[in-house]
Amino acid sequence: MYRNTRFAEIMEGLPRASFEKIVKQNKADKYSKGFGSWNQLISMIFAQISGSRSLRELEAGFNSQSTHHYHLGMSKIKRSTLADANSNRSCDVFEKACQLLLQQAHRRERKEIKDLLYLIDSTPISLKGLGYDDWTKSNSNYRTQGLKIHMMVSADTQTPVHAEITAPNVNDITAGKRIALEKGACYVFDKGYNDYNWWYQIHQADAFFVGRFKKNAGIEPIKSLEIPISAEKVILSDAVVTFKNKRPGGKRINNYYGTKLRRIVVDRPEKKTPLILVTNDFSRSAEDVAERYKSRWGIELFFKWLKQNLKIKQFLGRSKNAVKLQIYTAIITYLLVQAYQTRKEVKTTLRLCLAALKSSLFQRPDVERAVKRRQEEHEKYLDQQRVLAI
C-alpha cells in the first residue's frame, strides 16, 4: 500500500487538478513536449525547499529520489529542459497559481480572525550584472535596479494575502490602489502610501487605516482629545483634524476634504522627532492606534524571513521571466509549507518546520510512525519478558 511522502503532503495545498485548470486556461503546455508546467512547478518548489543554489544541484538532488517521482506525477529532470522552460514559458501560470493560494489564505483569515489587521509594504530585489542589465536598467530608480515585491500580510498570522511584482520605479501607492478593500479591516502602511484620495476610498469602504502624515501636510485642528495619564509619556498629542485645502497644489481634488481625521503624535525617545500618525479610527485609544502602527514592523520581518529562508536573492535563471517565476514559486512554497504546518499541527516555528522538511522531503511519515510503533511494542514486550524472568 502506497504512503504519501512529505512532499506529496505539502502539495495537497495545491491539488494538481486546480493547477492543471490554470494551465489549460493559459494553454501553457501547448508546446511542452513532455515536460509540462506541473513538472516545472514541482522542480521549482523542490529547489525552494532544498535550497538548491544551481540547476546542476537541483537536478542531482531531485533525480537522486527517483523512486518517489511517480506519485508526484514526475520523472527525472534535465537542467537544460528546466532552464528553457523557466526562460521561455510565461510565468503567468505560476502567478495565477500564487494568486489562487493567496485568495484561499485570505478567505481563511476572514473566517478565523474577527479583527483583521493587514500590513502593506514592498521590498526591492536587486538584480545587476550579465543577463540582468538587459532588462533591469530601463526601469530602475535611484535606489534599486531589479524588481519590487508588493505585499499585504496578516499581522496576526504572518500570512500573505496579496502579492504583486513590479519594476522598482512603480510607486508603492500605485500597487496599493490595486488591493481589494474589505469592510471592517484595518490597513497599516508607511509614508509610501500617502495618497489622500486612496485613504478616502478606504474610509468609504467602511474600513480603517493607520499611516503617517507628511511634515508639510496642510491640516488644521478642530479639537484636542483627552490623553489618559497612563499614556502621557508615550502620546504627546491626540487631535481631530481636517484638511485645509480642497485642491492641494491647485490641481487634483482632495476627496478627503471636509471629513474628519485623527492626528496622533507619538514620542520616539530614540529619534530626534516624534512619530505623526493619521487614522480614521476614532473608537480605539491613541495607544492602541500607536501599537497598530508599531505592528507594521511585522511585514519587515516577513520580508527578512522570506529572503533568508527561501530563494529570492540568488536565481536559477537571469531572464525576467525566470526571475519572476522563481519569486512566485517562493511565495507559493511559503503558503504551502504554512498550510502544511497548520494541517499537521507542527508545533515548531515555520523556519524549523522548513528546515525539517529540507532533510525529510521524500520520507513517508505513515511508514515512520508504523516502524516506531512496532519498535515501541517490541521494547514493551522485552520489558514484560524481563519482569517474568525475575
- Tens of pLDDT, residues 103-154: 999 999 999 888 999 999 999 999 999 999 999 999 998 889 999 999 999 9
* Residues 304 and 123 sit within 8 Å (Cβ to Cβ): no
- Tens of pLDDT, residues 302-338: 999 999 999 999 999 999 999 999 999 999 999 999 9
Q: β-pairing, 275-279 with 261-266?
A: antiparallel
Eight-class DSSP state of 76? -
The secondary element (H helix, E strand) that includes residue 165 is strand 160-166
Eight-class DSSP state of 247? S
Neighbours of 142 (CB within 10 A): 7
Q: What angle do CA 307, 312, 318 make, to 5 degrees?
A: 155
- Beta bridge partner(s), residue 117: 186
Whether the predicted pLDDT of 377 surpasses 70:
no
Rounded CA separation 329/97 (Å) = 9
Eight-class DSSP state of 71? G
* Residues 282 and 262 sit within 8 Å (Cβ to Cβ): yes
Percent of the chain past pLDDT 90, that is, above it, reads 81
C-alpha grid cell, residue 22: 490554470
**What's the whole-model pTM score?**
0.90
- Tens of pLDDT, residues 150-165: 999 999 999 999 999 9
C-alpha grid cell, residue 158: 504572518
Q: Is 264 left (phi over 0), alpha (psi -120 to 50) or beta?
A: beta
Say which amino acid occupies 258.
G
* Residues 190 and 121 sit within 8 Å (Cβ to Cβ): yes
Backbone angles phi, psi at 161, to 5 degrees: -125, -5
Helices (DSSP H) in 196-296: which residue ranges?
196-204, 286-294
